[in-house]
Amino acid sequence: MNLERRDFLKVLSTGALTAGNVTSVFAGIRKTLSADAVGILYDGTICIGCKACEAACKQYNDMPPESANLEKARGVDGIWDESYDLSEKTLNKIKLYEHGDASTRNSEENGFAFVKKACMHCVDPDCVSACPVTALTKNSTTGIVEYDKDACIGCRYCMVACPYNVPKFEYAEAIPEINKCEMCNHRQVEGDIPACCEFCPTGASLFGKVTDLLEEARKRIKLVAGSTYEYPMRSLDEGDVSPKTVAPYINYIYGEKEGGGTQYLLLSAVPFTKLGLPELSATSSASKSEGIQHGIYKGMIAPIALLGGLLYGAYQTTKNSEG
Amino acid sequence: MHEKQALGGRLLTKPFWVLLGLAMIAGLLLIKRFLFGIGAVTNLSDGYPWGIWIVYDVLIGTALGCGGYSIALLVYIFNKGEYHPLVRSALMTSAFGYTLAGVSIFIDIGRYWQMYNVFLPWHINVNSIMFEVAACIGAYVFVLWIEFSPTFLEHRKSLETKRKLNKFLFFFIALGVLLPTMHQSSLGSLMIIAGEKLSPMWQTGWLPLLFLMTAITMGYAVVIFESLFSAVALKRPLDETPILGKLSVMMIPLLVLFLLLRFGDLIWRGQLGNIFNDGMLGAFFLVENILFLIPIIMLASAKNRTKPTTLFWSAGSMILAGALYRFDTFLVAFNPGVGYHYFPSASEILITVGIISIEIMAYLIFVKKLPVLPAIKHS
């Protein structure tokens, strides 16, 4: 047994694989918002829970209503939409928070509040990093996370990766696709805004550039509760406003920092954890996983060096043998 | 050169018919899966997009298929020729394990007809751990069958082809060590991106190294377990016990290192206390680590390592430990949020059982018809 060779290989195989590992675990924030990135500011305090956004979303994205139980009970078809949460047929969803006797709007105690769920269009999306075949991509201008079914293999790693459980898979289809909100990309290219913002009667869903929306959100959380504020409607650029009484905002913009930031921002008067939104670190999981992976495989040096050592070892041991 | 021989004997035994029946049930359920979608046969959901097909068939299946890798590492790279008699059957089990993992992936993925996109340069995403895993496993299945092909060539008496192949075999042997090193560690890395959805007791930047270490030890354990089990089941003498005892020593330092890293990392991140805070997860954590500890204790004395029963149970415990570690990391400790639950459906389990049956049937066919197992020495 050749001791030197053994040691060399041991160092090579274990050292190369672990060295990169440790140094680059905490990769930090590495992706920033594009200047033209668009987003949605959802202000739960002025949402009335009418679900006009849900109906508009279904209409403009050709999504069927989900109505199994209620309709079965009534013996009708295609009348109601009663999805419980986001699903492969429901790309945005208004959910209700209730506590105690639910008498006070926008109150954590004995109150109720609304929250809208949809794709967050992360600045550094985990789903995009996870997808092995580039079926999920982040548009370099708008920042919209887009899906291409012709690339997708249906491995569902994006669903494992997404901290908000947004990508949904058509389990009931023989030819399934992943469905998620693409911020009405097809409407935006025609100069329209996302359907949920267009048809929101209160301005709770507001479309705009993410930088402008962030500014608007920062302004709102500083407002005095009970005062009157002119809430912009539909799109920040439109200039249409509607005066409303200001609710006691939580001094936090959900989405400003979560997982490296998102282009879908939320405001609320009820703590975000109560609304079912996850508490996330300020960096994306993708930055950690890519940090480790690229640390190990940097320039393919470690694998190539390891292969070189292995080739040498295997050649030496087999050259005189009959197999 | 160690003599190998086909076992011979009747193929269509009673157990074989049972296995065939199970495989046919799985076949029928698979027709349902492809006609009506994955939801028609599984309990998978938006919260739990991966179930036992991925966690058992792929993650545990390929780890059980690491015998070929672990033994090749010893024999060809560390030049421990004495383990050469174990190479062929280990490679065969690996080839089955990995091939069927590939089949399982095909069944599990939704848009299987586009599976080849993983190999198209304009589609691949080098940031994706899944790309690394898929490409490496795909390549390794190919490498395994080449490594195993001398057995076919011997059987067909194509000795000239075998001699030619032997000249290049070192290249495939080297790849056969490199590729599992890469993808078995990446299988662990897969869960880093799950972030907060995976319990901090399992979520760590050390996942790739922890998965690699358990893959290698599971490889040795499978070789020991399979060799002893098949000796008893196929009524062969326990000739290989001394070499298996020697092989079992390999697991001890790897397991000690594994536990040191596992606990050291938990202490470093201040997560050790969670073992006692989180009832069910804490229990799974303890069982998992006790199973890792059992082989270390059982195999510590040289005398114990000469006993086939001790070897058998310690290897069994090691296999369970590695399997449970994978189950925990991908399912038990994975919590996508309120309202999501997963337990496999009967159809899902039957399809996995069918795949395991096919694997055992293939094993029986191969050892009876091909020169895989060492020839029995008649004294």
Q: Which residue has the higher pLDDT, A189 or B235?
A: A189
Q: Which residue has the higher pLDDT, A153 or B13?
A: A153
Region class of A227: left (phi > 0), else alpha (psi between -120 and 50), else beta: beta
> A131-145, A290-304, B19-33: which has the minimum mean pLDDT?
A290-304
pLDDT(A38) > 50: yes
Please identify among residues 10-39 of chain A the ones whose CB lies closer than 8 Å to any CB of chain B: 13, 17-18, 21-22, 25
Q: What is the DSSP string of B160-223?
A: HHHHHHHHHHHHHHHHHHHHHHHHHHHHHHTTGGGGGGB-TTT--TTHHHHHHHHHHHHHHHHH
pLDDT confidence of residue A28: 55
pLDDT confidence of residue A239: 87
- Residue A29 — very low, low, confident or very high, per pLDDT cuts 50/70/90? low
For chain B, what is the mean pLDDT?
90
pLDDT(A168) > 60: yes
The gap from C-alpha A237 to its chain's centroid, in whole angstroms, comes to: 25
**Cβ–Cβ of B36/A174 closer than 8 Å?**
yes
Q: Tell me the nearest-neighbour CA distance from A84 into chain B, angstroms.
A: 11
pLDDT(A14) > 50: no
Share of chain A above pLDDT 70, in %: 89
In the predicted model, what is the mean pLDDT of residues B27-40? Answer: 95
Cβ–Cβ under 8 Å, residues A29 and A41: no
- The helix/strand count (H/E) of chain B reads as 14, 2
pLDDT(B277) > 70: yes
Rounded to whole angstroms, how far apart are CA atoms A160 and B195?
9
pLDDT(A177) > 90: yes
pLDDT(A89) > 70: yes
Determine contact: A318 vs chain B, CB below 8 A.
Answer: yes
pLDDT(B262) > 50: yes
Dmax of chain B from CA atoms?
66
- Residue B293 — very low, low, confident or very high, per pLDDT cuts 50/70/90? very high
Distances (CA, A) of A38 to A34, B206, B312: 9, 37, 61
Rounded to whole angstroms, how far apart are CA atoms B170 and B58?
27
- Residue B378 — very low, low, confident or very high, per pLDDT cuts 50/70/90? low
pLDDT confidence of residue B373: 80
pLDDT confidence of residue A2: 43
Share of chain B above pLDDT 70, in %: 98
* pLDDT tens readout for residues B305-353: 888 899 999 999 999 999 999 999 999 999 998 889 999 999 999 999 9
Q: Tell me the nearest-neighbour CA distance from B217 into chain A, angstroms.
A: 15
Residue in A25, A151, A311 closest to B174 by CB: A311
For chain A, what is the mean pLDDT?
87
> A261-275, B77-91, B179-193: which has the minimum mean pLDDT?
B77-91
- Quick one: which of B272, B262, B349, B376 has its CA closest to B56? B349
Where do the domains of chain A lie, and which CATH numbers do they carry? Answer: 3-28+287-315 (no CATH), 38-280 (3.30.70.20)
Please identify among residues 288-317 of chain B the ones whose CB lies closer than 8 Å to any CB of chain A: none
Cβ–Cβ under 8 Å, residues A317 and B79: yes
pLDDT(A19) > 50: no
**Cβ–Cβ of B127/A290 closer than 8 Å?**
yes
The gap from C-alpha A49 to its chain's centroid, in whole angstroms, comes to: 22
- Residue A297 — very low, low, confident or very high, per pLDDT cuts 50/70/90? confident
Q: Which CATH architecture has domain B46-360?
A: Up-down Bundle (1.20)
Task: Work out the number of other CB atoms within 10 angstroms of the CB of residue B232.
Answer: 11
Amino acid identity of B208? P
Rounded to whole angstroms, how far apart are CA atoms B103 and B81?
33
pLDDT confidence of residue B240: 82
Q: Which residue has the higher pLDDT, A182 or A304?
A: A182
pLDDT confidence of residue A145: 96
Amino acid identity of A259? G
Cβ–Cβ under 8 Å, residues B58 and B104: yes
pLDDT(B1) > 70: no
**Cβ–Cβ of A176/B111 closer than 8 Å?**
yes
Rounded to whole angstroms, how far apart are CA atoms A115 and A99?
14
In the predicted model, what is the mean pLDDT of residues B170-190? Answer: 92
Cβ–Cβ under 8 Å, residues B191 and B330: yes
pLDDT confidence of residue A139: 93
pLDDT(A7) > 60: no
* pLDDT tens readout for residues B2-21: 677 787 778 788 889 999 99
Q: Which residue has the higher pLDDT, B267 or A323?
A: B267
Helix (H, G, I), strand (E, B) or coil at A247: coil
Please identify among residues 8-47 of chain B the ones whose CB lies closer than 8 Å to any CB of chain A: 34-40, 42, 44-47
Among chain A residues, CA nearest to B336: A165
> A69-73, A253-257, B332-336: which has the minimum mean pLDDT?
A69-73
pLDDT confidence of residue A3: 42
Cβ–Cβ under 8 Å, residues B67 and B222: yes
Taking the domains of chain B in order of start, what are their residue ranges? 46-360
**Cβ–Cβ of A133/B118 closer than 8 Å?**
yes
